[in-house]
Amino acid sequence: MSRRQFSKADIDAAKSWPFGEARALVKRLERAGHDDPVIFETGYGPSGPPHIGTFGEVARTTMVRRAFELMTGRKTRLIAFSDDMDGMRKVPPQLPNQELLARHLQEPLTSVPNPFGTEHPSFAHHNNAQLRAFLDRFGFDYDFVSATECYKSGRFDETLIRVLERYDAVMEIILPTLGAERRETYSPILPISPKTGRVLYVPMLEIDARAGTVVFEDEDGERIKTEVGGGRTKLQWKADWAGRWFALGVDYEMAGEDLTESVKLSSRIVRALGGEPPAGFNYQLFLDEEGKKISKTKGNGIAIEEWLTYASPESLSLFMFQNPKAAKKLYFDVIPKMADEYLGFLQKYPAQNGAAALDNPVWHIHEGAPPADTSPVSFAMLLNLVSASGSADPNVLLGFVKKYRPNASPAEIAAARALTVYAERYFERFIKPSKMFRAPTDAERAALEALSARLKEIGDDAPEDVYQTAVFDAGKAQRFVNIRDWFSGLYEVVFGQKEGPRMGPFIKIYGARATAKLIDDALARN
């Protein structure tokens, strides 16, 4: 880890988008000056597990946060907010215990029983725990905040009362955005039925801002007067985001492009409450290979677990760093590309100075402290090695790495070792299925048999040029017109591909007997 010092001039010259966002945030704070800490927020809906978009949002927000800290030296916090007081509108179809869940429709997600059988007291608590484990796994720094706790503890009371005080102004902003039917019953404040525990989508019959109370009709028709605070009511969609900004003093929040209109509306509402909307921007959604929108139900695109099966979290961060305002295609082909571009940026960083270093993605990916040691070989090269050798044994692979990079430090080798795991998995899924082993010609069979015998005779401890010579001798003995044909035949029959590793070093690293066995196995196949 190396954290460098940067001058103000360097920082002013940094052009990457997180610095641009940080500057916009600085301007906002000039308008709505306040004390530290500066609050960043990212929202989460606990009706499903965290996904690749969750990662992207937190990663990108963190990038802005670190750029802002460097620029201003101010204290910041990142709130990971869970909207866990929302009513469960329908039972997510992929969940276990459907009948159990169905009995708790309309209840706050933190009141819905946990269908997973884990130790958490509710459905939302389970998902919240998943979110935290997810964020912790990547080392994100954040403060988890639960909507339910905010409402029940009274933290949101002041805001709820403010909504009552500005009720007409808030309604005036929201009503035009609703259809005629919804307009009749819409209320920015929703009571929780004291009898059934359900979130009631009913209009307010009376409001009293001074007393902080509302009157509504409960499910059984009874008119009930209740205080708005203490978790007895909650804010509804279209008002809740604004209320949260107001109550928590959120200074920065980004959102997906699909929420553009919500951000605008919420900004107007928070102003009506007497607050200042946060800075932030709308990032673009992800597309699949054909340019279609990624949807979880369709199953196109890539799940985060899939990405992390084949490449590091850092490579995914790089993907998130790049061009957040363009709709990006998210499919398997980009994984090795991002993995290697990440390595490239990492290698370039030590030689860069000033703004160039600050604009290097790895500065953002590693929150200002990129690791000094990086793999001395590319992911693509490891894939070649795995493919060529047919072996995903890390020791074999690292043998090649040491061969190619004799000056690599132990730390660099360790970095390469971390990549071998990904290389193996990528190979198994994408490369191995495309291997085509063909039958040897008579000459090839004779040469291969001779080579196998010769390797067993030499044994494992000879220098690599002895092996190289053995390979050539076996080919020459069969009088191949062009010795290249012997090699290509060797690769196609034994390795199942048109190209392969240099044989001398390969045999030395892989082992003469092991190589002989590869050959024998190939011959036995045909």
Partner RNA sequence: GGGCCCGUAGCUCAGCGGUAGAGCAACUGACUUUUAAUCAGUAGGUCGAUGGUUCGAUCCCAUCCGGGCUCACCA
Residues that bind RNA (CB under 7 A): 15-17, 45, 83, 86-87, 89, 177-179, 181-182, 201, 236-237, 257-262, 282, 284-285, 287, 291-293, 322-323, 325-329, 334, 337, 340-341, 344, 359, 378, 380-381, 384, 388, 404, 465, 468-469, 471-472, 483-489, 491, 498-506
| Least distance in angstroms from the C-beta of 35 to RNA | 31
Q: Is the peptide bond before 501 cis (omega within 30 degrees of 0)?
A: no
Minimum CB distance to RNA, residue 417 (Å): 18
Type of residue at 92: P
Q: Where are the alpha helices (DSSP H) in 73-122?
A: 98-102
* CB of 79 or CB of 287, closer to RNA: 287
**CA 112/CA 47 separation, integer angstroms:** 11
- What is d(CA 495, CA 285) in angstroms, rounded to the nearest whole number? 41
Q: How far is the CB of 467 from RNA (least distance, A)?
A: 9
Residue among 28 and 77 whose Cβ is closer to RNA: 28
Shortest Å, Cβ 340 to RNA: 6
> Residue 77 or 86: which CB sits closer to RNA?
86
Q: Give the nearest distance from C-beta 522 to RNA in angstroms.
A: 15
User: What is the spatial distance between Cα 245 and Cα 150, in angstroms, rounded to a whole number?
Assistant: 13
Strands 189-191 and 233-235: antiparallel
For RNA, the closer of residues 23 and 74 by Cβ is 23
> Considering only CA atoms, which of 294, 338, 291 is closest in space to residue 316?
338
List of long-range contacts for 176-182, beta carbons under 8 Å, 24+ apart: 177/238, 177/265
From the CB of 207, what's the least distance to RNA, in Å?
A: 20
Report how far Cα 387 is from the mean position of its chain's Cα atoms.
Answer: 28
Pick between residue 262 and residue 441 the one whose CB is nearest to RNA.
262
The phi and psi torsions of 287 (rounded to 5 degrees) equal -120, 160
* Three-class SS state of 146: strand
Q: Closer to RNA by CB, 309 or 468: give it.
A: 468
Tokens (6 digits) for 361 = 């993605």
CA-based R_g, the chain, Å: 31
- Nearest Cα neighbor of 422 from 389, 454, 383, 450 is 383
| Closest approach of RNA to the CB of residue 117, in Å | 25
Which is closer to RNA, CB of 136 or CB of 258? 258
Query: Considering only CA atoms, which of 263, 261, 257, 315 is closest in space to residue 287?
Result: 257
- Min dist CB 322 to RNA, Å, is 4
Nearer to RNA, 6 or 487 (CB): 487
